[in-house]
Structure 1
Amino acid sequence: MNIIVCIKQVPDTTKVKIDPETNTLVREGVKSIINPFDMYALEEAIRTKEKVGGNISVLTMGPPQAAEALREAIAMGVDDVYLLSDRAFAGADTLATSYTLSKGIEKIEQFDLIICGKQTIDGDTGQVGPEVAQKLGIPVVTYVSKIENIKNGQIKLKRMVEDGYEVIEAETPLLITVVKEINEPRMPSLRGTMKAKKAEIPTWNANDIGAESERAGLSGSPTQVVRIFAPEISKKCEILEGEPTEIAEKLIKKLKKGKVI
Structure 2
Amino acid sequence: MRFVVILKQIPDDSIKEEYQDVDQLNDSDKNVIKEALDLRERYGGTVDVIGFGPLSAEDVMKETLTYGIDDAFLISDPQFADMDVSQVAKIVAAVIKKLGPYDLVLCGRQAIDGDSAHMASMTSCALEIPLIAYSDEITEMKDGSVFATCMGDQMAYKVEAKTPAMILSIREKNKNRFPSVPDIMKTYDGTYKTKILTNEELNLSVTKRKVTQLRKYEVKSSKQQKLVMSNGKDEEEKAAQILQLLKQKSVI
TM-score between both structures, scaled by the size of structure 2: 0.81
Offset at residue 61 of structure 1 (A): 1.0
CA distance in 1, matches of 2:162, 2:67: 27
Alpha carbons 1:8, 1:35 under 8 Å: kept: no
Match of 2:8 in 1: 8
User: Is the partner of 1:119 in helix, strand or coil?
Assistant: coil
Question: Alignment partner for residue 210 of structure 1, among 189, 193, 203?
Answer: 203
Letter in 2 for 1:50: E
Alpha carbons 1:146, 1:158 under 8 Å: kept: yes
For the structure 1 residues 187 and 253, does the alpha-carbon distance in structure 2 shift closer, same or farther, using more than 3 Å as the test?
farther
Matched residues, number? 236
Deviation readout 1:80-119 (Å, 9 max, x if unpaired): 1111110011101111111111121122122110000111
For the structure 1 residues 10 and 64, does the alpha-carbon distance in structure 2 shift closer, same or farther, using more than 3 Å as the test?
closer
Match of 1:134 in 2: 125
Offset at residue 76 of structure 1 (A): 0.7
| 1:110 counterpart = 2:98 | no
Q: Which moved more, 1:229-238 or 1:127-136?
A: 229-238
Alpha carbons 2:2, 2:102 under 8 Å: kept: yes
1:1-261 matched pairs, under 5 angstroms: 1-8=1-8, 10=10, 18=15, 25=16, 32-183=23-174, 186-197=177-188, 198=190, 199-214=192-207, 219-221=208-210, 224-225=212-213, 228=216, 230=218, 236-238=225-227, 240=229
Q: Which moved more, 1:62-71 or 1:80-89?
A: 62-71
Alpha carbons 1:95, 1:220 under 8 Å: kept: no
For the structure 1 residues 77 and 227, does the alpha-carbon distance in structure 2 shift closer, same or farther, using more than 3 Å as the test?
closer
For the structure 1 residues 152 and 226, does the alpha-carbon distance in structure 2 shift closer, same or farther, using more than 3 Å as the test?
closer
For the structure 1 residues 127 and 52, does the alpha-carbon distance in structure 2 shift closer, same or farther, using more than 3 Å as the test?
same
For the structure 1 residues 226 and 238, does the alpha-carbon distance in structure 2 shift closer, same or farther, using more than 3 Å as the test?
same
User: Is the partner of 2:6 in helix, strand or coil?
Assistant: strand
Alpha carbons 1:85, 1:203 under 8 Å: kept: yes
Q: What 5-or-longer segments of structure 1 have no aligned partner?
A: 19-24, 243-248
**Identical counterparts, % of pairs:** 26
User: Is the partner of 1:83 in helix, strand or coil?
Assistant: strand
Deviation readout 1:138-181 (Å, 9 max, x if unpaired): 11111100011111221110001110111001110001111143
Alpha carbons 1:140, 1:175 under 8 Å: kept: yes
Alpha carbons 2:9, 2:113 under 8 Å: kept: no
- RMSD in angstroms over aligned alpha carbons? 3.2
User: Is the partner of 2:4 in helix, strand or coil?
Assistant: strand
TM-score between both structures, scaled by the size of structure 1: 0.79
Offset at residue 71 of structure 1 (A): 1.3
Offset at residue 39 of structure 1 (A): 1.4
Alpha carbons 2:38, 2:174 under 8 Å: kept: no
